[in-house]
Amino acid sequence: MDATEKIAHFVVDLEYEKIPPKAVEVAKTALLDCLGVTLAGSQEECAKICAQIARQE
């Protein structure tokens, strides 16, 4: 079994109730932080240039 299969089995067998509450809290905070930084950064000039290039390709 390769790494991808091991990860897939882990995810399939995962039950939300078995995840430690602190891990859920940290994951939620990290996700919100990532979204906030992404939204804020999307208005930077370099991000606008990258988006323009991506639309052209």
> Tens digits of per-residue pLDDT, 3-44?
999 999 999 999 999 999 999 999 999 999 999 999 999 999
pLDDT of residue 57: 79
Give me the pLDDT at residue 1, please.
Answer: 85
Indicate if the pLDDT at residue 53 is higher than 90. yes
What residue ranges in 1-57 does DSSP mark as E strands? none
Please answer whether residues 47 and 55 qualify as being in contact, where contact means their C-beta atoms are separated by less than 8 angstroms: no
Helix then strand count (H, E) for the chain reads 3, 0
Q: Which residue has the higher pLDDT, 1 or 28?
A: 28
pTM metric for this prediction = 0.64
Side chain identity at residue 30, one-letter code? A
